[in-house]
């Protein structure tokens, strides 16, 4: 009887511990860099397991990244992509991995693929464009995830904007990225300007003007130099859009 | 007695030296840093050393100390005394617990020293270049050390329970090591369990494994505690500690129950 | 008065392999070991005597049957508190000194802090290990190991002492010393159960013996009773001439007795060894 009670107590303790563990895991989960089974699978036998288990994440991420260089030299697209994504997953807080993975995917790998298929002369233009856009989207997926997980949000958003603008040709999407970058705590000085330009080029000049004007008034005007180049661009917009004088930004004392 | 026996073993000294070498050498490997932040890189070496060598120590030393008593037949002499099987097992655990504590304290102190030294150097450089100096939290490091000690205690309790049933040292070590790996990856099952699924059987199996096997990954919040102090709530740490204590108690009780039936 | 050890219909089966085959190590053993005596438990290898001892000490559980020690069920702490045990070929932590080991065992056995020092010294003295007590156990010879093992077994002043092969691997001088310690313990009122293959020593030291074979009790009783050949007599004669021998044989034949053999008595090699070697090399 006493023995049975002890076994029951043991089982109860285990169940209670498990229930508590579920609760505690939920509360600390956000503090641990996320890594899902999909990222683990391709490289599980390559020393990556050690990083996942709980130690040396940064070191293993670095080693994985260095190994990806070797594959980059060989233009081994699948291997390179796998290792780069793994490095991002192992240390998702590091902006460097996301940035360069996005770039490699968005700018380089389409060219590798074209060369693999026979070269620029052989691959039809439509296919080439399709590949450029396809890989640009992949690069943007990586950068989107990096924005979510890493700490260098502003920089990654700008890179995403550049990729959307130059490789995808999607001005609206580029504008959205630059807008997000401009709305971060420490945005690059050009982010708002790029947002406005792309929004304008995407065929929404009034929206571009309204947003840029509000942004200048709320943030840029408070800078030490009051961002005169941005104000100049706003003035151009006001002229093009024939904005009435009362709706424009009042003339500044320091304006030429 | 278990602690005295363990602390004399060359294996323990070897692991301490390896762990310490790893922590100290992290400063030399700085060139591998891809913009993580140097302190994070150094801290990662320390966390990794504590995890890797600490786990090896917990698994191997616990099994070794238990089987040494069985194989040398000192267990015969001890268990013939008015000492219950549970007291014997708990005594073994406490000895191992103390040695693990010593290991964690030494490595944490060394890591703290290396981090502090490098933080001072970086602080000077940052002042000169007008940038924000990186910093780390000693309090966070202390809390992390406690969590690692607790994690290793859970591992030791599991290995003791396995050893109580196992016939050989090798079997206990292999199964103990597999349990550590499973425990570190158990969070995957826990995450899947939190997502909705239609299969009752699948969910039941996951539920059972998530209860029986501790989620050891929850103790790995070193990054947040040491480098991003303030992002981990005290209550969260409390829950982790409580779950660790419950698992330790549960596995010690299981070990005592299994050992009760063992023929010496 | 209750027996020191009471074994009632104890059976022990060991499971072998996956097919559920059983090996019967102890077969319906019943035995009463009285208090205040030296009791020898003998038998060939594999007869079940070590298994019996382990069941008595609670290290192995019997398949069926009952064992009490001094009136207490054998697996209880009360029984073990009153029992001291020296296993065969004892092993102790080498880094401990003899005194530290005995003190450690005294603590485990529940000796109070007040009585600790005196109990430890008394045990060391009985085991003739006072001089070597401060040395690490790793420096001890075989005989010293056995004696320190004896000290740890008796430090808590148990009523029952169980010794498994206490003189195995020990030279005759050392073995004789251990024999004297056993007799001292008996004189102190303790019950000593001795398991040994050295029949000569058992014959000298034990009051009662039990012989086991294939898990069963074959014989049990007082040593002089079981060894005496009651139908034969031994005369030791000095100055027997051939004529006197013939006359004696005729006289005996007239009464129906028959002289089976006439030989010279021999002392044992052990006796000769002890006569020649003075003192122990152990000290």
Smallest CA–CA distance, residue B260 to chain C, in Å, is 10
CB under 8 Å to A202, separation ≥6 — which residues? A171, A172, A175
- Among candidates A225, A230, A167, which has minimal Cα distance to A197? A230
The pLDDT of residue C230 is: 58
Identify the domain containing residue C113 by its residue range. 5-229
Give me the tens of pLDDT residue by residue for chain A, a chain 256 residues long: 778 888 888 888 888 888 888 888 888 877 776 555 555 555 555 555 655 666 677 778 888 888 888 888 888 888 888 889 888 888 887 888 999 999 999 998 899 999 989 999 999 999 999 999 999 999 999 999 898 887 768 889 999 999 999 988 899 999 999 999 999 888 888 899 999 999 999 999 999 999 999 999 888 887 777 788 888 899 999 999 998 888 888 888 877 6
End-to-end CA, chain A:
95
What distance in Å separates the CA atoms of residue A174 and residue C262, rounded to the nearest whole number? Answer: 124
ipTM over 0.90: no
CATH of the domain at C116: 3.40.50.300
* Ramachandran category for residue C37: left, alpha or beta (phi over 0 → left; psi -120 to 50 → alpha): beta
Identify the domain containing residue B153 by its residue range. 2-260
Q: Look-up: residue for tokens 């100049």?
A: A232
Cross-chain Cβ contact C80/B78 below 8 Å: no
DSSP for residue C97: B
B234 touches chain A (CB under 8 A): no
C168 touches chain B (CB under 8 A): no
C132 touches chain B (CB under 8 A): no
Strands C83-86, C5-16: parallel, antiparallel or unpaired by DSSP? unpaired
Does some domain include residue C197?
yes
Chains A and B in direct contact, meaning 3 or more beta-carbon pairs closer than 8 angstroms? yes
What distance in Å separates the CA atoms of residue C50 and residue C84, rounded to the nearest whole number? Answer: 16
User: What is the Rg, in whole angstroms, of the alpha carbon atoms belonging to chain C?
Assistant: 23
Scanning B34-73 for CB atoms below 8 A from A yields 34-36, 40-41, 44-45, 47-52
DSSP per position, A89-125 = HHSTT-HHHHHHHHHIIIIIHHHHHHHHTT-TTTS-H
Cross-chain Cβ contact B80/C77 below 8 Å: no
What distance in Å separates the CA atoms of residue B96 and residue B73, rounded to the nearest whole number? Answer: 19
What are the angstrom distances between the C-alpha of A164 and each of A139, A173, A203, B210, C17?
A: 9, 6, 16, 43, 70
Cross-chain Cβ contact B82/C104 below 8 Å: no
- Structurally, how many domains does chain C consist of? 1
The pLDDT of residue C281 is: 45
Does some domain include residue C219?
yes
The pLDDT of residue A170 is: 92
Neighbour count for residue B79 (Cβ, 10 Å)? 23
Cross-chain Cβ contact B74/C89 below 8 Å: no
Contact list in C for residue B71 (CB cut-off 8 A) is: none
- Among candidates B259, B11, B21, B59, which has minimal Cα distance to B171? B59
What distance in Å separates the CA atoms of residue B206 and residue B192, rounded to the nearest whole number? Answer: 8
B29 touches chain A (CB under 8 A): yes
What distance in Å separates the CA atoms of residue A242 and residue A245, rounded to the nearest whole number? Answer: 9
- Among candidates C206, C155, C179, C172, which has minimal Cα distance to C281? C172
What distance in Å separates the CA atoms of residue A160 and residue A165, rounded to the nearest whole number? Answer: 8
Of the given ranges (A119-123, A201-205, B61-65, B206-210), which has the lowest mean pLDDT? Answer: B206-210
- Among candidates A136, A145, A36, A128, which has minimal Cα distance to A93? A145
Sorting pLDDT into bands at 50, 70 and 90, what band is B103? very high
- Structurally, how many domains does chain B consist of? 1
Q: What is the pTM of this model?
A: 0.78
What distance in Å separates the CA atoms of residue A111 and residue A118, rounded to the nearest whole number? Answer: 11
């Amino acid at each position: 009887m006493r023995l049975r009670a002890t076994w029951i107590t043991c089982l109860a303790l285990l169940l209670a511990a498990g229930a508590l563990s579920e609760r505690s895991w939920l509360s600390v989960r956000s503090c641990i860099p996320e890594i899902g089974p999909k990222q683990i699978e391709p490289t599980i036998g390559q020393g990556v397991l050690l990083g996942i288990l709980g130690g040396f994440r940064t070191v293993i991420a670095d080693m994985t990244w260095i190994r990806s260089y070797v594959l980059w030299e060989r233009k081994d697209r699948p291997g390179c992509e796998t290792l780069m994504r793994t490095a991002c997953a192992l240390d998702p807080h590091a902006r460097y991995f996301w940035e360069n993975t996005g770039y490699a995917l968005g700018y380089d790998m389409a060219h590798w693929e074209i060369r693999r298929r026979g070269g620029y002369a052989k691959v039809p233009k439509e296919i080439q464009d399709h590949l450029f856009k396809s890989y640009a989207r992949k690069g943007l997926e990586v950068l989107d995830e990096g924005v979510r997980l890493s700490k260098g949000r502003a920089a990654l958003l700008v890179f995403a904007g550049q990729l959307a603008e130059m490789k995808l040709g999607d001005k609206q999407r580029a504008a959205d990225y630059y807008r997000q970058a401009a709305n971060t705590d420490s945005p690059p000085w050009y982010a708002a300007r790029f947002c406005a330009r792309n929004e304008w080029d995407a065929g929404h000049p009034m929206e571009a003007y309204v947003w840029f004007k509000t942004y200048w008034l709320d943030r840029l005007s408070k800078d030490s130099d009051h961002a005169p180049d941005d104000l100049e661009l706003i003035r151009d917009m006001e002229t093009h859009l024939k904005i009435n004088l009362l709706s424009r930004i009042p003339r500044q004392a320091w304006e030429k | 007695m278990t602690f005295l026996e363990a602390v004399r073993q060359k294996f323990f000294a070897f692991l301490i030296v390896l762990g310490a070498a790893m922590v100290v050498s992290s400063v030399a490997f700085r060139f591998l840093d891809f913009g993580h932040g140097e302190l994070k890189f150094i801290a990662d070496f320390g966390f990794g050393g504590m995890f890797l060598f600490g786990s090896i120590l917990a698994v191997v030393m616990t099994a070794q100390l238990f089987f040494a008593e069985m194989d040398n037949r000192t267990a015969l002499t001890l268990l013939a005394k008015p000492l219950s099987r549970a007291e014997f097992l708990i005594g073994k655990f406490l000895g191992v617990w103390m040695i693990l504590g010593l290991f964690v304290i030494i490595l944490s102190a060394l890591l703290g020293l290396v981090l502090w030294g490098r933080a001072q150097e970086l602080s000077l450089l940052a002042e000169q270049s007008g940038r924000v100096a990186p910093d780390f939290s000693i309090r966070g490091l202390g809390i992390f050390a406690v969590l690692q000690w607790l994690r290793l205690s859970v591992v030791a309790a599991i290995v003791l329970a396995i050893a109580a049933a196992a016939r050989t040292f090798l079997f206990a070590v292999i199964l103990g090591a597999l349990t550590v790996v499973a425990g570190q990856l158990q969070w995957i099952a826990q995450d899947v369990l939190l997502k909705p699924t239609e299969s009752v059987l699948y969910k039941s199996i996951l539920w059972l494994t998530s209860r029986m096997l501790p989620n050891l990954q929850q103790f790995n919040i070193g990054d947040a505690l040491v480098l991003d102090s303030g992002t981990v709530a005290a209550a969260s740490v409390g829950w982790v500690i409580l779950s660790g204590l419950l698992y330790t108690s549960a596995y010690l009780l299981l070990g005592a129950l299994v050992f009760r039936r063992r023929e010496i | 008065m209750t027996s020191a050890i009471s074994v009632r219909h104890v059976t022990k089966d060991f499971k072998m392999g996956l097919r559920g085959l059983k090996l019967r190590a102890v077969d319906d053993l019943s035995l009463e070991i009285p208090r205040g005596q030296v009791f020898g438990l003998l038998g060939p290898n594999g007869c079940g005597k070590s298994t019996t001892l382990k069941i008595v000490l609670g290290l192995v559980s019997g398949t069926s049957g009952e064992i009490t020690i001094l009136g207490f069920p054998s697996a209880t702490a009360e029984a073990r508190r009153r029992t001291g045990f020296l296993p065969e070929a004892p092993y102790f932590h080498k880094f401990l000194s003899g005194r530290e080991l005995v003190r450690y065992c005294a603590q485990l056995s529940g000796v109070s802090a007040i009585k600790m020092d005196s109990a430890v010294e008394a045990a060391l003295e009985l085991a003739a290990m006072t001089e070597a007590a401060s040395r690490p156990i790793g420096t001890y010879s075989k005989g010293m190991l056995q004696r320190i093992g004896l000290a740890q077994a008796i430090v808590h002043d148990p009523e029952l002492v169980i010794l498994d092969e206490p003189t195995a691997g020990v030279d005759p001088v050392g073995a004789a010393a251990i024999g004297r310690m056993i007799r001292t313990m008996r004189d102190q009122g303790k019950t000593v159960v001795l398991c040994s293959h050295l029949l000569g020593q058992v014959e000298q030291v034990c009051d009662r013996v039990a012989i086991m074979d294939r898990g069963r009790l074959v014989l049990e009783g007082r040593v002089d009773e079981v060894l005496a050949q009651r139908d034969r007599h031994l005369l030791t004669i000095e100055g027997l001439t051939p004529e006197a021998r013939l006359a004696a044989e005729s006289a005996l034949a007239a009464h129906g007795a028959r002289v089976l053999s006439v030989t010279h008595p021999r002392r044992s090699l052990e006796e000769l060894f002890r006569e020649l070697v003075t003192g122990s090399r152990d000290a």
